Amino acid sequence: MEYCRYTSDELTHFVGASAPTDEERFQTLLRILRAGRLRASDGSRTTDEAAMLLSITGNKKISDGSAVRGVIVCFCDIPLPSLGLHMSKYGPFGIAFTRAFLVAKGANPVFYVVNDATLPGISFVPKDDGSHELARDITRADLMDRFHWEAMRISTRVHDMMFGSSDPELQNLFARIAHFHMLLYQATFAFVKSFNSAEAADSPENYYMEREWRVYGDVQFSMSDVQRIIVPRAYHDRLRQECPSYTGDLHIVDSPPIDGRDAASASRFSG
């Protein structure tokens, strides 16, 4: 049975988004392919090291992405014919792996949350002083931020009590709470991606269109693990010359994306 192809069997990472020229993006791609490593966002780390180095800031917000910073590599789950919009934001140099390959390395999709969505009625929410209040028609952004701040207050209090107690049973309980708190952030809040519903599809702030997956730490691979490479046509021959051991699919982008899609007959596969 044929299904609507709004997801892909491949997850793609685009390189050099901040580089000013295509030549610099191409050189970045070559370095990645030769090293067999996609480096995480905060330096080279193993998956275990990266998960433990999660940065959590109590006075910042979940809703703007500043409260939790992970050492991660990002991928998009977008079918090949629909990558034009994504490339218009991140550039036309990409490397793709099968979803199964990355899931084995811990890949997981992010949890999208609409900041401006309102929870109708009355919600029971924490206050800065540790008490709670009834709030009417609160936004998801406000609710997430309040619970994050409350979780951090509780974590600080538990830490102080754990080291201030001589009771082994209480120390064990406090340690379990502290570990649960860290696990909650590692497994959940580090994968939350907030966005505003009013953003246009082509807005850099419209993260929902990215269908993002994340992997903790560096992604190491061999050339045979690479499912597909994406480059502009001008770099096709040079890629083949520079990476003769790569025999997989090469997707050629002939021209810049138009209206969020590859131009008609502008992209094709090349062996």
Task: Write out pLDDT tens, residues 140-183.
Answer: 999 999 989 999 988 888 888 878 778 888 888 888 888 888 88
Predicted local distance difference test score (pLDDT) of residue 260: 43
Helix axes 140-164, 168-187, angle to 10 degrees: 150
Cα 242 to Cα 58, 220, 230, 268: the distances in Å are 47, 20, 15, 21
Predicted local distance difference test score (pLDDT) of residue 159: 82
Please provide the average confidence, as pLDDT, over all residues in the chain.
86
Q: What is the largest CA-CA distance in the chain?
A: 72
Predicted local distance difference test score (pLDDT) of residue 268: 36
| Residue owning tokens 């433990």 | 52
| C-alpha torsion angle, residues 179, 181, 186, 190 (rounded to 10) | -170
Predicted local distance difference test score (pLDDT) of residue 235: 95
Q: CA angle at residue 184 from 77 to 107, to 5 degrees? A: 25
Predicted local distance difference test score (pLDDT) of residue 227: 96
Rounded-to-integer distance, Cα 149 and Cα 60, Å: 8
Whether 111 shows a pLDDT value over 50: the answer reads yes
DSSP string covering 206-230, please? -GGGG-EEEEES-EE--GGG--EEE
The helix or strand, by DSSP H or E, that contains position 180, with its residue range, turns out to be helix 168-187
Residue with more model confidence, 5 or 96: 96
Predicted local distance difference test score (pLDDT) of residue 102: 97
CB 192 within 8 A of CB 68: yes
| pLDDT tens digits along 177-229 | 888 888 888 888 889 999 999 999 889 888 988 999 999 889 999 999 999 99
pTM: 0.84
Q: 62 phi and psi, to 5 degrees?
A: -70, -35
Whether 270 shows a pLDDT value over 70: the answer reads no
Predicted local distance difference test score (pLDDT) of residue 265: 30
